[in-house]
Each structure stands twice: as structure tokens, then as C-alpha cells.
Amino acid sequence: MLWSLMKIVLFVAIVAGLAFGAGLLLESEGGVRISFASTEFTLGPLESVIAALLLLFLMWVLLKLVGLVIAILRFMSGDETALSRWWGRNQERRGFDALSEGMMALASGEGRLAMNKASRAERYLKRPELTNLLTAQAAEVAGDRRKAEETYKKLLTDDRTRFVGIRGIMKQKLADGDTDTALKLAEKAFALKPKHEETQDVLLKLQADNHDWKGARKTLGAKLRHGALPRDVHRRRDAVLALSEARDLVDETATIERREAAIEANKLSPDLVPAAVMAADQYIKDGKPRYAARILKKAWAAMPHPDLAAAFARIEPGETPAARVKRFREITRIKPDHPETRMLLAELNIAAEDYTTARAALGDLTETDPTARTLTIMAAIERGSGAEDPVVKGYLARALTAPRGPQWVCGNCHAVNSDWEPVCDNCGAFDSLSWTRPVRERTAMPAGEEMLPLIIGMPQSEQEPEVEDAETVEGEVDDGKEGSEATEAGAPANTPEKPSVEDDEKPGSAAR
């Protein structure tokens, strides 16, 4: 704003000065006398103005000629000129056109074409930080791994592209299965860009696969600090890493560290069943059963699990079945309607040979939630109650094809793991196992449920009636004929009485 005002004032001053000078020339009586050698010129006022304008024009032309000569000399010496700038802009335009065409070819999956366009762009632009990246990605698409690796190594020489080069080589090593080299490269990439979320995830997975639990916890903390992970998820995964660290400390010298790590994992995530079990076992070894019971009851309130019940039983390993039923009331009264609690009560009463209470505790789980475990427990109850073999075999036969109930299922690949692990055995996902029902629960058998009659025998209601003798059959036929004749004559037919059906269920009906 101030500069614009100054230019306006300067322009007005120049115009005023010129007008004032022209006025003085017009008012003067003489003129302008020019003497050159022996020649003298006298110019009037108007002629003086015209001569001044011509002089200024000649000076301007002279300056332009001098500038042209200087430009020619600079062009010949190799300095930048208007011609070189025009030439450079033309090459830059062609280079960026080739670069954009290469990016379009890369997006279309045409790797060879993208490599050619990248080479052309490099010839025009001389910008390796742009063209090398395109060349490396195009080489990967085209399947030229050697070319891609060479180009990624070129990117390592520039500070601006070093992270991209490390990341590209790291992904190649991961694809080749060289996890040791990939781990070192991931650590370098993480040091360059600790906020890069993909690098954090790759480094965390590689550290977990390599059982570097301390390093994985540091990486997890970095994810929390940079906002890439919610705080509750961080606590859960930190607990998983602490538990994994405790499980690896198996030597005698690490007993204290193992106990502290297990307790820390349980504090970070009380609902993590393996952490609660390990912490309780450590307290049992230390002679602190109350602490162990407190941890297990808190975990049971979060999620009832058979491992928690087994750990609770280890608190008093030598107690009688009746005493165990009484002591387990501390847990069973927390969630009495949960299927796990009902099955636990049934198993405890079976061990105490109280089959009536066991049947009442199990309730209708065999009908509402028929799993292999509930049907097996019911078979044990029937056996203890003195039921006949077809009844027991019926429940066991149903258990063969019944769902297995909740298991450790990976949320990423839905594979079933036999035990809890921090990393899925099938897909390698970290902290993906949860105690839930698989997507496909039912167990397929070669002959399916058609094998059940072969195991428990043909139900009596489906068997053909036995024929006593031919005379009885002939008598029934004759009675049927007489009845039909009486009906035709208008008299009421003698309807034979149906055999009575007993109210008690026949053996094997429960299995059906």
C-alpha cells in the first residue's frame, strides 16, 4: 500500500517537472545552442524538446544493443539466458508430462510402460527423488525385483528419500521371508519416522514374532504417544505383551521377574484370562491363596472360563469333592445363570456323586445350548443316575457332532487355536484371539447324524411290530371283515381297542 502511494507521488512529480521544464523552454526568447567542433546549431524551444526526445530514444536503443551484446556473450559462455530458460521450461513440461503418464500407467498396472515413462521423465527433469520412486514401484509391478531393489538403494543416498528406500527394501525382505533383515530395517525406518503408523505396526509384529517383548512394549508406547492407538486398546495389548514376557521367563533365576510381569499383566487387563491364571499361580506358589482367589473371582466376573475354574481348584488341591463344592460357591454365585457356571456346578456335583443337584444345575442346556461339553456332562449324569446304556450312548453320540462351544478364535482369520497365544498360529495377527464361538461350529462327520442309530440302536417307536403268529393275524383279518359287513348293514362296527401307551419314556428317548 505504501509502495503504491510512493509510485503515484513519484509519477506526479516527474510529470510536473517535465511540464515545468517545457514551460520554461517555451517562454525563453533564445533557445538551445549546440556547438560541435567548428559547427554550431541553434535550436528553438520546440526544436529543443524534439531533440531531447530523440536523444533519449537513441540512448534507449544504445542500451538495448549493449544488453543484446552482453546476452550473446553470456549465452556463448554457458550462462542462463532467455533462450535457455525457454528451453528449460519446454524440457520441464515434457518431463512432467512423462511423469504423469508414468503414474497413470503404474495405477493401471502397466509396469513396463511406467518404467519407460520414468526413464523419459528422468532424462528431461533430472529429478531422481521423483523418478526413482516411480521406477522402483513400476519395477515391482512388472516383477523385476532386482531393478526395484537397485532403485530403492539409490533412494538411500538422499536424505529426503531415505525413509522411502528403507521402507521399500523392508517390504521386499518381508515378502522373501527374511524377517531378521526386515526387523533391522523396520527399526531404522521407525527411527526416521516414529509417527508412521504402518512402520509401527510392522515393527510391532516383527518384534512380537521374535519374542522381543520389551521392544514391542516400547513400540506400543510410541503408538500411544503419537495418537495411533486408543488408550484402552493400549492397556489391553500392553498386558498381552507383559504376559508374553512373563511366559518366556521360565528359568529359576527369573522367578521374581516372572511373578512381577504376570501380576503387572493382570493389573493392566484384569479380564485377560491367561494373565489372571498366571498371576494366581504365582500367588499360590508364594503361599498367598487369598490374593489368588481375589484375582480369579475378578476375572470370572469379567468372563467365566474353564481355565479360571481350574486355577481356583489348584488353590486347595487336596480337598474333598464336597468341600470343593462348598468353596466354589465364591465363584459360582458371581454369575449363576452363565452357561459356564452351570456346567461347572454340574461337574463339581458329579465329582461329589450328587447327580440330582448336578442335573438341576445343568438345567436345559442340553436343549437350549447343546454343545459337546453339555451333552458329555449329561451322559455322565445319566450314567451316575443308573440310566440304561442306550440313554448314555445317545448323549455321547449327539456330542460327536455337536458344536464345541466357545474356543480361542482369531478375529482376523477365524481360525481356532487350541491355547491362547499372543500371536495367531494361522495368520500371525497380534492380540487377535478371543474366547468366543467359531463361525463354523458344527463338526462334520463322514456319515453325519445317520450314524447315530447305528451307535444307540434303532428307537423302539421306529421298529416294526412283531407278529406273534399267523393265527392271530388271520383272526384280526376276519374280525375286520365282520366289522365291515356290519357297517354295511347299518349296525355300528366293533372298533378294536388301541393298546395303551405308558407315560414313562422308553430307554433312548432322551438321546433322540
Domain spans of the chain, in order of start: 91-172, 195-225, 251-317, 326-405+441-458+508-512
Whether residue 345 is predicted with pLDDT greater than 70 in this model: the reply is yes
Whether residue 310 is predicted with pLDDT greater than 90 in this model: the reply is yes
Strands 433-436 and 416-417: unpaired
Residues 6+ apart with CB under 8 A from 410: 416, 417, 424, 426, 427, 429, 432, 433
pLDDT band at 493 (very low <50, low <70, confident <90, very high): very low
Question: Which residue pairs from 424-430 have beta carbons closer than 8 angstroms and sit at least 24 positions apart in sequence?
Answer: 428/205, 428/209, 430/204, 430/205, 430/208, 430/237, 430/240
Q: What is the CATH number of domain 91-172?
A: 1.25.40
Q: For residues 37 and 245, what is the distance between their CA atoms, to the nearest angstrom? A: 107
Question: Which residue pairs from 67-70 have beta carbons closer than 8 angstroms and sit at least 24 positions apart in sequence?
Answer: none
* Per-residue pLDDT, 353: 93
* Per-residue pLDDT, 78: 65
Per-residue pLDDT reduced to its tens digit, 95-104: 889 889 989 9
pTM of the full structure: 0.63
Whether residue 123 is predicted with pLDDT greater than 80 in this model: the reply is yes
* Per-residue pLDDT, 14: 81
Lowest mean pLDDT among 50-54, 192-196, 289-293, 395-399: 50-54
Residues 6+ apart with CB under 8 A from 458: none
Q: Which residues of 255-289 are buried (b: 16+ CB within 10 A; e: fewer)?
A: eeebbbbbbbbbebbbbbbbbbbbbbbbbbeeeee
* Per-residue pLDDT, 323: 94
* Per-residue pLDDT, 190: 93
107 vs 256: which has the higher pLDDT: 107
- Residues 475-483 have a mean pLDDT of 42
Which secondary structure element, helix H or strand E, spans residue 416, and what is its range? strand 416-417
Whether residue 268 is predicted with pLDDT greater than 90 in this model: the reply is no
Q: For residues 240 and 235, what is the distance between their CA atoms, to the nearest angstrom? A: 9
Per-residue pLDDT reduced to its tens digit, 408-431: 999 888 888 888 888 888 888 888
* Per-residue pLDDT, 237: 86
- Residues 437-466 have a mean pLDDT of 51
Lowest mean pLDDT among 100-114, 218-232, 370-384, 455-469: 455-469
Phi, psi of 391 (to 5 degrees): -65, -50
Residue 417, strand partner residues = 408
Q: What is the DSSP letter of 221?
A: H
Whether residue 502 is predicted with pLDDT greater than 80 in this model: the reply is no
Lowest mean pLDDT among 1-5, 238-242, 257-261, 283-287: 257-261
Whether residue 49 is predicted with pLDDT greater than 60 in this model: the reply is yes
* Per-residue pLDDT, 474: 42
Whether residue 459 is predicted with pLDDT greater than 60 in this model: the reply is no
* Per-residue pLDDT, 26: 65
Cell triple for 380: 455322565
**Among residues of the chain, what percentage have pLDDT more than 90?**
27
Average pLDDT score, the chain: 79
- Residues 473-491 have a mean pLDDT of 39
Whether residue 503 is predicted with pLDDT greater than 50 in this model: the reply is no
